[in-house]
Amino acid sequence: MKKTFSLVVIFLSLTIGNSYSKNELYDKIDLFGEVLEKIKKDYVDEIDQSEIMDSAINGVLQSLDPYSAYMSPELFEEMQTDTRGEFGGLGIEIGMEAGLVKVIAPIDDTPAAKAGIKAGDYIVKIGEEQVQGKSLMEAVKLMRGPVGTSIELTIKRKNVKKSLKFKIVRKIIEVKSVSSEILGDDKNLGYIRLKSFNENSDKQFLNIVQKFEKNSKIIGYILDLRNNPGGLLTQAINITDFFLDDGEIVSTKGRKESETRKFFARKGDEIGGKPIIVLINNGSASASEIFAGALKDHKRAIILGENSYGKGSVQSIVPLKNGGGIRLTISKYYLPSGDSISEVGVTPDILVEEAEVDFKMNTKSDNQLNYALNLFKT
């Protein structure tokens, strides 16, 4: 009964301000109760009413957009570890698209990435469970499990006719968000790979930049955000600010006044105006797109690679009384130009598609990185 009441409250909240009259609203609530009673009484199999109510709550949230979702108390507790840099699972960031679970990006050096999962893949089966019709959080729950156990993912991939199957062993995922090395024939280019925007990314990133800046041979930077699914908005703002002297970085607009804000760069470019090439692909999403889009709009960097994912919204985690929570979209963000990247993404200045054969990032087969290196020679 308590869950039914919760759903009614959610339904009421979503319909306030709509064109429903009060009578129409109560008619809808009565209809929901009638349908629930019919299911309970006449459905062919006995049902778990608690699961039915969870699915109904999820249905309400997922009708809003692909990123809003309900988390059970168990999933909510697990989610708390995600932005701290350590969690169990396969190592992929996923979202919903047209009722399907889509891979936003595999995380570097994780079981999913090593198995060959790619950004843009659609997960159609997890083990023996069909994914279509399940919520995002139900899919997450199926993929997580005891460390050392394996799970088979069945994937549909663009331009590949047959389904692909990947057997992946679960492990503790430690997200080390920043790595670096010196590249170039003359060892004069700072290469920084930013894998995610988590709690400590800005500090790690700045430490690397400051070390590079002590090397007098460094003439420019390649910043690699490919397969970076995003993370914390504050981190995206802080890291973008390292390379701008002034101007707007990003703005957010929501229904509440508190969610409508503009964020500006502070004076000081950490690399003194040296040239930058930013690498992006279809797995660069959210905070990655803020970073790449701001540097592009300010003409501070050349953006190279493929069109980014197109996730231009901000989610807030709202705790619930039952120990669970909801992830709810509260605002959309806009680039300094005023453009929204939702469903559009950031278009690269130089389009270089990933080589189809034997492509592996930061190796001799990485044609996108090789293109960037060659640009510094001209």
| CA 349/CA 301 separation, integer angstroms | 9
Give the ranges where the chain is alpha helix by DSSP (H): 2-15, 22-42, 49-62, 73-79, 111-115, 136-143, 201-213, 233-241, 287-297, 367-375
Tokens 């050392």 locate to: 148
Please state the separation of Cα 369 from the chain's center in Å: 23
For β-strands 220-224 and 276-280, DSSP reports them as parallel
- DSSP 3-state of 181: strand
Report the catalytic residues: 286, 297, 311
Q: Is 274 exposed, middle or buried (0-12, 13-18, 19+ CB in 10 A)?
A: middle
- DSSP 3-state of 102: strand
| CA 332/CA 103 separation, integer angstroms | 21
